[in-house]
Structure 1
Amino acid sequence: MNDSDKIDEQKSLYDGVRGKAVKLLNRIDKTDAYLDKLLEVEMRNSELSGRDKALLYEIVHGVVRWMGRLDWILTGFYKGQFAKIIPNIKNAMRVALYQILFLDKVPDYAAVNDAVEFAKRFQGQKSADIVNGVLRSIIRSKDGIRYADRNEDLILFLSAYYSHPSWLVKRWVNRWGEEFTEKLMNANNNRPKHTIRVNRLVTSVTEMEKLLEEIKQKYYKGRYLKNFLKLASLNNITDWKYFKMGYFSIQDESTGIPVKLLEPQPGMKVLDLCAAPGGKS
C-alpha cells in the first residue's frame, strides 16, 4: 500500500459527521489546540452539507461542554477502566452518549449504530460488541442514572452532574453558596448565543434582515441595540460573501453598549484600544 492509499484509508475511517467529530475530539485530547480553530479548518476543507456542519458543530461543542457528566456515566457502565480506553473508542462512545442524552432529533439506535460501526472499523467485532452493550445498557437506564449522593458529597455531585472541575465547584460553593453555584453552572452550560453587529456604513438593518431571510437564517432582534441581531446558528457564516464585504461583524451586543453610553460626537478624539473585529486583545 503506497502513501496515497494510506491517506485515503485514514480519511475513510473518519467518514461522516460522527467520524469527523471523533477525529476532532482526539486532537483536542492530544494537543492544546483551540476547538473553534480546529472546527473552522475542518468545515472549510470538508464537503459536508450545511445541516451536517451544524450537527458536527453541535456534537463537538456538546461533548466538550458535558464531558464530565458523559465520562461519569460511561465509567459507571463500562466494565473495566474507561479512562484507559484508546481515544478513538472513548470519543466514539462520548459522541454517541451526547446524542442519546441531549439531541432529541437523533434516534438512540442511530447514535448507537454509528458508534458500533466506528469501533468495528478500528478494533474489530469484540470492541464493537462492548460499545453496543454499554450504550444500550445506558439507554435502558437513562431515566434512572445515578450520580454521587449530593447529601454525602455535594462537590462531587455538582462536578459530575454539571460537568465542571471539582476544584472550581469547591471554590464557588465556598464563595457563593450551593444555590448560586448551581445556577451559575447551569447558566454556564447553556449554548452560547451568536450575535452580529450590522455595519450601517455599508448597509442597513432592514437590508441585513432580508439577506438573512434569503438564506433561511433565523434571527432575533437585539435586546438593547437596534443594529445587533442574534442568530439561531452560526455555521460557516464567515464564508458568506456579505461577511467578506463588511456588511456585519461577529460581535456580542454587550460590546456595543459602552459606545452607546459614550455617545461620541463629530470632532471628538477617540482612543481605540480594542482589537476588532473580534478576538481577545
Structure 2
Amino acid sequence: MFHDLTDVLVPLFITTRRFGGDAQPWWLDKFRPLLRGLSRHDVVDMDRGGRGVLGYPHVVVGLEFHKEMSVDAARTAGEYSMADFALLARRSYGLTRDTAIRLHGRSDGDRSSGRPRLLLISRRSTRAFANVGAIALGYEVVVGEPARHAELPSFARVVNSCDVLVGVHGAGLANLVFLPAGAVVVQVVPLGGLDAMAAEDFGAPARDAGLRYVHYRIAVAESTLARRYPRDHRVLRDPAAVRREGWMALRAAYLVGQNVTLDVRRFGDALRRAMELLR
C-alpha cells in the first residue's frame, strides 16, 4: 500500500491535477475508484485494449514526484496539497466522515458515546504487536489487518470510521489517507535507528494530509530482539553500525523478525497524547 501510494498514486495525482481531470491513468482494479477521480476518461490497458494506434494531442511521459507519499504544496503554488489527495481518496471510496471526533464541542464526527475509536493495524509476519489486548485507555479499540490485494473499499470504511490509527512502522500506516481530517496517527517505531525514515515515510504525510501525529520510539525492552540477542550485542548496542552496512543489513536486523511487546504504562503516555490532540 505504501509503494502503491508513494511510487504511483500520489505522483499520478500531482501530474494529472493540472489538467482538471483530462488525463489517461492506468492501475489495478483495486484503485479504480480513485483513478476515476483523477480522470474523466476510461482507463486504457495498452496490452489488452486491442487498439493498434492511439492518438493524443499531448502526452506526459513519467510522473512528477515531490516527496514520500505526499505533495509539496509550495511546488504547486498552493493550488493543491496532500490534504486534497486525502479528500479525493475519501470521496473516491464513498467515505462519509470528513472530520474526526472532538472531545469538547460538536462536530460531524461526534458520537453519542464520546469515546474515540482507535484502529490498531495488526501485522502477522513481522513487526507485529505481541500484546494487542493491552491497548485501551478510554478508546473503543478495533483491530484490523488490511488485505494486500482485495477488499480495499471495506477496509477504507473501517479506517474512516476511526479517530486514531496505531501501527508499527510499515505499509499498513499508508491507510492514513482514509482517516477523517483531524484524526491522529500514532507510529510505533521499532529498534534500528529508524526515526528519520519513519518520520519521512508517515509522519510528514500525516501532517500534510491534515492529521495529527504522535511518534513513539520503543525502548529496547519492548523489542523481541532483546530476547534474541545478549544485551551487549551490536544489534542492540549500535544500530548505526548496522545501518552503515547498507539497506539489506538494516532490513535483516530490524525490519524482518522484530516484533513489539508494548510497555503499557509507557505507551499510555502516547495514547494520552493522542487523546489530547482530539480535544
- TM-score over 0.5 (shorter chain): no
The alignment's TM-score, normalised by the length of structure 2, stands at 0.23
- Structure having the higher Rg: 1
Give the structure with the higher percent strand.
2
Give the structure with the higher percent helix.
1
Relative contact order (C-alpha < 8 Å, sep 6+): which is higher? 2
